[in-house]
Structure 1
Amino acid sequence: MRELAKVVSVPINATSRFALQPTLKQAKANVRALPLKEKTGSLEKSLVIKQKPRTSKVNPLFQVGPDASFQRATQFGSRRPVRYAHLLEFGTAPHYQPKRGVVHPGTRPTPWLTPAYFATRDEVVKRFSKKIGPEMEKRAAKLKARAK
């Protein structure tokens, strides 16, 4: 299996990133359309296609989401979208804020990634299936040329 992983990981990774491009594009468009009080563009700029950590080389998992290393100074202070993207997507429950001494009423969910997934899931599968065959053939040709 380790030998197989060395052969297929490159084409699978390239094909997965290619296939998820429509979801990334739609997610960025959805973020631009969010009705936010403070629009800095940080969340949109932080969105990337990334491989989930600790997945196997034979069966890698890729996801669209904010880059954990992205940080940006704005007129509202420093922004790290990875810290608040899920709060926009799913909302928050009412909670006590001890520093302010008040109960925050919570926020309604404003989904931006889930609609992007549902709008593009069929296209992602089609793009992956069209690209994986030629990518595997290209990789096989490289290995064959090396073996000579």
Structure 2
Amino acid sequence: MGDFKDLGGMFRQLSQRPTAGQMKAARQQALKPFVAAAKQNLASNGSNKTGKLSASLGVAEKQGERNTTSAGPIRGRKHASNGHLVEFGTAPHWQPNRGGGQMHPGAQAKPFLRPAYEATKDEIVRQTGEAVLNAVLKGIKTP
């Protein structure tokens, strides 16, 4: 009968792991290689002229959503809203507010986020899984 008590206690311990804080830390740590790869892609494709878009990249908890971490241009950082223009390019268009109006020739797409995702997705899953497993194992005290 004592074995079942011990087993029940272990299951109670297990149900408390990983904590929300441990999960948040695991997600944030695992996404750092993605951000580093995106910054490297900006530098290598010639899109890092001022460094402002690169500076807007980071890892943050998604506002208004529980247990959701995002990586990429962070809302509220200067130039965070320009990433899609570099990633997908632009067609030629009229700019009425530039020096009395002028035609912009458009810009070629220079993907930096998608290649970063493709290069790091397996590593992100592996790191997150290891962090969660370690949190669970540390949380279980064997009798």
Shorter-normalised TM range: 0.7 to 0.9
What letter corresponds to residue 94 of structure 1 in structure 2?
Answer: P
1:116 shift after superposition: 0.2
Residue 42 of structure 1: aligned partner: 52
Give the structure with higher Rg (CA): 2
Contact persistence 2:26–2:131 (CA under 8 A): yes
Contact persistence 2:57–2:80 (CA under 8 A): no
Residue 85 of structure 2: aligned partner: 87
CA distance in 2, matches of 1:92, 1:86: 9
Residue 105 of structure 2: aligned partner: 105
What letter corresponds to residue 41 of structure 1 in structure 2?
Answer: G
Residue 63 of structure 2: aligned partner: 53
CA distance in 1, matches of 2:31, 2:119: 12
Among the aligned pairs, what percent are the same residue? 35
One of 74, 83, 95 as aligned partner of 1:67: 74
Q: C-alpha root-mean-square deviation of aligned residues, in Å?
A: 2.6
What letter corresponds to residue 42 of structure 1 in structure 2?
Answer: K
CA distance 1:137–1:54, shift in 2 (3 Å): farther
Contact persistence 2:34–2:120 (CA under 8 A): yes
Q: How many residues align?
A: 125
Consecutive aligned runs of 4 or more in structure 1 exceeding 4 Å deviation: none
CA distance 1:122–1:11, shift in 2 (3 Å): same
Deviates more, 1:84-93 or 1:122-131: 84-93
Name the TM-score, length of structure 1 as normaliser. Answer: 0.71
Contact persistence 1:68–1:82 (CA under 8 A): yes
One of 41, 65, 71 as aligned partner of 1:30: 41
CA distance in 1, matches of 2:135, 2:93: 50
What letter corresponds to residue 117 of structure 1 in structure 2?
Answer: Y
CA distance in 2, matches of 1:22, 1:93: 31
Q: Which runs of 5+ in 1 are unaligned?
A: 71-79
1:101 shift after superposition: 2.9
Residue 75 of structure 1: aligned partner: none
